[in-house]
Chains A and B, each alone.
Chain A
Amino acid sequence: MELTRRLILAAGAAGLALSTTLPATAQEKTAKIGIAIPAATHGWTGGLNFHTERTIKAMEAAFPQLEFVLTTAGDVQTQVNNVEDLIAQQIDALVILPMESDPLTEPVKAAKDRGIFITAVDRGLSEDGVEDLYVGGNNPQYGVVAAEYFKGKFPAGGKVVVMRGIPTAIDNIRIDAFQETLEGSGIEILDMQYANWNPDKAFELMQDYLTRFPEIDGVWAGDDDAALGARAAIEQAGRQEGMVLLGGSGMNRVIKMIMDGDTLIDADIFYPPTLIAPAIEVTAMRYATQSPIRGRYVLDSPLITKENAEEFYFPDSPY
């Protein structure tokens, strides 16, 4: 299934490359949009790549006069190179999800100096005014929603353990908002350790939390990959009874569990890899229908429960 999709895409890309080398065969291209995103190295970025390819295909079908160039990078330096290569290909607009803000600021500024329209996704750049358009998730809200969830579950207080992600600014923002919101609620955070949003690390960390703390009411794994690892450890210890487990970011396997009425994981926080879709779409509109839109779009991170899970469910996505 995946293979065929990949093959079709590769064939499509080859066809695209071919058509650009032939002078004006069918439709004259009026704008070229370069896209620079992280490679699919873990679940969330896998979803990001899926939705990027999906959106490009839809946009190309709707507006054949637009051309899209997609690049992915496994590390910061490769992404810098990708941006430079895109500039060399005479793009009109750049949609970028910076792997890290600081090192990408200069290369993106160089693109802007060439008159390229800049759309930053998920993470801004380190200097104000570089991006013309910003589409991002709401990281403080991510932590607040998690805290509110536990407050709702344990109105009289309770004991929770927290798994942090990969040590990054995003993780800090989420965790700070989480702690702030829990203040005075009577909910005690027993410990917070890094599980790197990774199922294996989360499994081992959860085993240790379970041996260390005889009483745990709630677990915030911070991410759905980690939540699935934690879940295996909780089941192994037979401690599911009366425990709640919350992940985050909306992996389709977890959303399916919520739809099916899982007792341990009954909610999720949406931090959508779909945020790339509006970023590409709004940028494309600028050239397709001449809509001069600038500014900041901040997408909500709502709580996903059994009632609204259907809306967030993408069964074909790898994440």
Chain B
Amino acid sequence: MIRNSLSRMGPLLALILLFLAGSLLSPTFLTSENLLNVVTRSSVIGIISVGATFVITARGLDLSVGAMAALVAGLSILCMNAMLPTLGAMGALFAGLALALVFGGAAGMANGALVVWGRIDAFIVTLGTMGIMRSLITWMSDGGSISLDFALRGVGRPLYYGTVLGVPVPVLIFAALAILGEIAMTRLRFGRHVIAIGSNAEVARHSAIRVARVRIATYAFQGLCVGLATLIYIPRLGAVTPSTGMLWELEAIAAVIIGGTALAGGYGRVWGTVAGVLILGLVANILNLTSFVSPHLNGAFQGAIIVIAVFLQRRSTPF
């Protein structure tokens, strides 16, 4: 029983260990400036990972989120720039942000429809759409970058750099989404259906759960999350390049699994994903703050932390 509750707390334990390591290795690690930096920039992956938690819990997979983020961001920037003369900076910004959610939701819906109605394996569908969307953004930008008009940058800046009562805006958005996600997963019917489908889709179908609809909804929600993430990504640097979002899908999947969600579906927890995202962000941060290891070995360190974090909770997932 003790062992069980300990392993359930695996991600938190790993997080605490990282905090200890960070504060021992670097005098600046615990400054509020540093911690806010890490949490703020982790928000982009964090928001995407909340969506990924639902997809994976329902025994799905979405490899296209990184490419989708780049494409959605690129399309929204083009739309914002085009609308600037007619709507003005503020109008164009809000219209563009709304469009980002629409684009993301639509792309996610397309993934879901292909997986569920097309009866194609999620891995293959999203591998395909990943390639399509990555090529589209490369083609649209001609290999260079798609930049936000300077008039829009000033207006959009607070979305990444602004704070409310000292808390950065991206962190607020991430926190709000995570809380809603946790409630949806544990208290709402949607979450229970997602878990049921993930553990056994056949049984779920016999229990009168609309399996197809719920599965598509998880992909659409994932797309919405990607759209939401681009809202805070765009104002950060004001530009999208073909390398934007590269490997975000793997970071998101890693965060979800570190957080204790079962890769085979049927068990998911959003708070664990939040811990997972922070673990990944803190490891990168600590490696940058110290000359502890050769930069050539950074990847090995991150890999080891991922394996250890999952090892700490290896019995927590019921099969």
Chain A interfacial positions (CB closer than 8 Å to B): 2, 6, 39-43, 45-47, 49-50, 164, 167, 191-194, 198-200, 203-205, 207-209, 211-212, 225, 228-229, 232, 236-237, 253, 317-319
Contact = CB atoms under 8 A, between A and B. Distances in A.
A167 B296 contact: yes
B241 A225 contact: yes
A256 B75 CA distance: 25
B293 to A, nearest CB: 11
B243 A46 contact: no
Contact of A209 (B246, B287, B288): B288
B168 to A, nearest CB: 10
Interface residues of B, number: 34
A128 B284 CA distance: 41
Given A164-B295, A232-B236, A319-B143, A40 B242 contact: yes
B86 interface: no
Given A41-B242, A318-B142, 20 more contacts: A6-B139, A40-B144, A43-B143, A43-B144, A47-B143, A49-B143, A50-B142, A164-B295, A167-B296, A193-B288, A193-B298, A194-B295, A198-B241, A198-B243, A198-B246, A200-B244, A212-B289, A225-B145, A236-B161, A319-B144
Of A41, A164, A167, most buried by chain B (CB within 10 Å of CB) is: A41
Contacts of A205: 288
B237 A207 contact: no
Contacts of B140: 2
Interface string B279-301: 00000110111010001101000
B237 A199 contact: yes
A238 B141 CA distance: 31
Contacts of B37: 207-208, 211
A303 to B, nearest CB: 23
Interface of B: 26, 28, 31, 33-34, 37, 41, 138-145, 147, 161, 236-237, 239, 241-244, 246, 284-285, 287-289, 291, 295-296, 298
A253 B238 CA distance: 13
A46 B285 contact: no
B288 A40 contact: no
A182 B157 CA distance: 37
Contacts of B138: 39-41
B295 A43 contact: no
Contacts of A192: 295
B236 A203 contact: yes
A250 to B, nearest CB: 13
Nearest to A205: B288
A43 B241 CA distance: 7
Interface class of chain A by DSSP: helix
B41 A46 contact: no
15 contacts: A2-B142, A39-B138, A40-B144, A46-B144, A167-B296, A199-B237, A199-B239, A207-B37, A208-B34, A208-B289, A211-B28, A211-B37, A212-B26, A212-B288, A319-B145
Contact of A203 (B26, B34, B237): B237
Given A40-B242, A199-B237, A211 B143 contact: no
B237 A39 contact: no
B139 A46 contact: no
Contacts of B142: 2, 6, 40, 46, 49-50, 318
Contacts of A208: 34, 37, 285, 288-289
B148 to A, nearest CB: 12
Of A39, A42, A225, A228, most buried by chain B (CB within 10 Å of CB) is: A42
Contacts of B34: 208, 211
Contact of B239 (A47, A211, A228, A236): A228
Nearest to A197: B243
Given A198-B243, A207-B41, A212 B28 contact: yes
Contacts of A318: 141-145
Contacts of A47: 143-144
A192 B145 CA distance: 26
Nearest to B242: A41
B240 to A, nearest CB: 10
A6 B144 CA distance: 14
Contacts of A211: 28, 31, 33-34, 37, 289
Contacts of A236: 161
A202 to B, nearest CB: 9
Contacts of A39: 138, 143
A46 B288 contact: no
The 3 A-B pairs with the shortest beta carbon distances in the complex, nearest first, are A40-B143, A46-B143, A318-B144
Contacts of B288: 193, 204-205, 208-209, 212
A56 to B, nearest CB: 16
Contacts of B147: 253
A42 B33 contact: no
A48 to B, nearest CB: 8
A88 to B, nearest CB: 25
A208 B284 CA distance: 10
A225 B240 CA distance: 11
B132 to A, nearest CB: 14
B166 to A, nearest CB: 15
A317 B37 CA distance: 34
